[in-house]
A = this chain, B = another copy of it.
Amino acid sequence: MHYPNGKKLSVDAKKKPLPNPTIYSNRGMTLEEDINETNDYYRDTGKAIIHKKPTPVQIVQVDYPRRSAAVIKEAYFKQASTTDYNGVYKGRYVDFEAKETKNKTSFPLNNFHEHQMKHMESIIDHGGICFVIIRFSTLQATYFYPADSLLKHWKNSMNGGRKSISLESMKKEGYIIPIQYHVKVDYLHIIDMYYSTNGGNNNG
């Protein structure tokens, strides 16, 4: 995200507390930027309408200078209670979250908050298409990972199981998203495939 002063917002500002020092979501040509480009491409070519939700901000103080726009003078980043992206594809509701890790062997589950997991579970219950896009930046590998698989691992971790998803599980339960020039993260392609072969998340 670029702001008017040319500075990029650091991860620390966006996510608090920072769950894991090896997680980045806003640095360089990030996964977020790639997804935004992809969504623009989908929109321009009439494939789907997917938007990133605005960053949730708790506003504390607003000034109203005469003759000019209201200025927010004090505000804080809030933890998101839902996921970052949603929209419509072929009439269906699509909902997902994107995360990047520098880890090489597993993806830590503490990247997700409990209310985000509950949200994803609700979306599946209501027949929505729900997944996460996970990039292992060091491995230059980006996965489409169905929310039902994520929920399975997360529930297991809540019951004392493993606190991360191994790269092996990711390869087995997820789908690699090839990086292309125009469509950096072509997840619709995987949705078509996953939902025709699998009958949707509901049948997990």
**A-to-B contact residues, CB < 8 Å:** 3-5, 9-10, 12-13, 16, 43, 46, 48-49, 51, 53-62, 64, 69-78, 81-82, 86-95, 119, 122-123, 125-128
Taking CB atoms, residues of chain B closer than 8 Å to A43 are: 122
Assembled-state Cα–Cα distance A72/B125 (Å): 37
CB within 8 Å for A122 and B72 given contacts A4-B58, A9-B62, A55-B54 = no
Are the CB atoms of B70 and A16 closer together than 8 Å? Answer: yes
Taking CB atoms, residues of chain B closer than 8 Å to A4 are: 58, 60
Taking CB atoms, residues of chain B closer than 8 Å to A78 are: 54
Closest 10 CB pairs of A and B: A91-B127, A88-B93, A72-B75, A13-B70, A54-B56, A88-B128, A93-B93, A54-B54, A88-B126, A49-B122
Taking CB atoms, residues of chain B closer than 8 Å to A123 are: 49, 88
CB within 8 Å for A91 and B92 given contacts A13-B62, A75-B57, A77-B72 = yes
Taking CB atoms, residues of chain B closer than 8 Å to A122 are: 43, 49
Taking CB atoms, residues of chain B closer than 8 Å to A57 are: 54-55, 57, 59, 72, 75
Assembled-state Cα–Cα distance A179/B88 (Å): 29
A124 nearest CB across to chain B (Å): 10
Taking CB atoms, residues of chain B closer than 8 Å to A91 are: 92-93, 126-128
A–B complex contacts, Cβ < 8 Å, 16 sampled: A5-B61, A9-B59, A10-B64, A12-B70, A49-B128, A53-B53, A57-B72, A70-B76, A72-B75, A75-B75, A88-B128, A90-B127, A91-B127, A91-B128, A92-B127, A93-B94
Taking CB atoms, residues of chain B closer than 8 Å to A16 are: 69-70
Task: Select which of B77, B87, B92 is within 8 A of A92 by beta carbon.
Answer: B92
CB within 8 Å for A70 and B77 given contacts A88-B95, A126-B89 = yes
